[in-house]
Structure 1
Amino acid sequence: MIQPLSMRGRHAVVLLVEDNEDHVFLTRASFEEAKLQIDMRHVDDGAKCLAFLRKQPPYEDAPSPDLVLLDIHMPRMDGYEVLDAIVKDDALRHLPVIVLTTSAEALDIERMYGMRCSSYIAKPLDFESFTKAVAQLAGYWLNLVVVPHRDG
């Protein structure tokens, strides 16, 4: 039976794809501040993201994420390339990908939605607003929305 992630009897697995360590800290702290039961995993570039999702070395034992939080501007492989690869991969295209980035540029927003991102959130600059945004994001994606899940 398909249920919201919060009703599946385990912590939701969230993969954060972010190269800025301050933003990683802020995201982790925001989940904790909002008292969300999440197993947050982190990679710092797009190539590592795809290796994680495909369970390639060194991520053979990585859990399958329920959500991907994706930054756009990263080294090696940017968010556009990552989303393009996810959408084209039959084993990954079911994943909700939420763009979580500092860019509020109309071109970035239009391009990511055109590529099939599930949501686009421009990161608020202060901790309180960021925490509120993360809590709202998690409340929606973990408690309300029903998404497919594939173990693997």
Structure 2
Amino acid sequence: MVTPAPARHLQVLLIDDEPAACLLASMAFEPQADRAQLRTLDDPAAAIPWLHAAARAGTLPDVILLDLFMPTVSGLAILQAIQASEPLRHLRVVVLATSDDPQDIDAAYRAGATSYLTKPGVFTAFEVQVDTLVTYWHGIFDGLNP
């Protein structure tokens, strides 16, 4: 009898300069531990060097969750840097922002976002949003990497 290989974990990187946002995301991802692994990066200035190092090591995340509004380096600048880099431009970047302003959404897509999600104001709604995100992307990557 052959034992099936364990399901591949979706690798998610959250780039957000707010420690509270990183903590809440970690909490929201806890119930997803059997399908997804979350890594957080709270220094947006370190994002592109970190991603280049991960590319060299062959450990790029499957999906990046990216805050749009960060004071030191904006999410738009990170998106543009990802798009300008050959080893990174294939990455799927989901913007996770507090703004639902159509201009912000349009700017994110023009800069290369794969998707745009508005952060809900209630944690339970965020948990549902994370479950939906993991279900969707896990299905995509599980189909690509059996």
- Please indicate the TM-score interval, normalised by the length of the shorter structure: 0.7 to 0.9
- Which protein has greater RCO, CA pairs closer than 8 Å, 6+ apart? 1
- The percentage of counterpart residues that share the same residue type is 34
Q: In structure 1, what is the equivalent of residue 92 of structure 2?
A: 96
Q: Deviations over 1:56-101 (max 9, x none)?
A: 8xxx869321111000111321100000000111100000000011
Q: Give the match for residue 132 of structure 1.
A: 128
Alignment match of 1:77 (pick from 73, 76, 84):
73
Q: Which runs of 5+ in 1 are unaligned?
A: 1-6
TM-score (norm 2): 0.84
- Pick the structure with greater CA Rg: 2
Query: Counterparts of 1:15 and 1:129 in 2: how far apart (Å)?
Result: 20
Task: Please identify which structure carries the higher helix content.
Answer: 2
Unaligned runs of at least 5 residues, structure 2: none
Aligned residue type for 1:92: L
TM-superposed deviation, 1:120: 0.1
For residues 105 and 143 of structure 2, the distance between their equivalents in structure 1, rounded to whole angstroms, comes to 23
Q: Counterpart in 2 of 1:4?
A: none
Q: CA RMSD in A?
A: 2.6
After the TM superposition, which residues 37-116 of structure 1 pair with which residues of structure 2 at under 5 Å, given as runs? 37-55=35-53, 63-116=59-112
Q: Please tell me whether the aligned partners of residues 10 and 137 of structure 2 are also in contact (alpha carbons under 8 angstroms).
A: no
Please give the TM-score of this superposition, normalised by the length of structure 1.
0.81
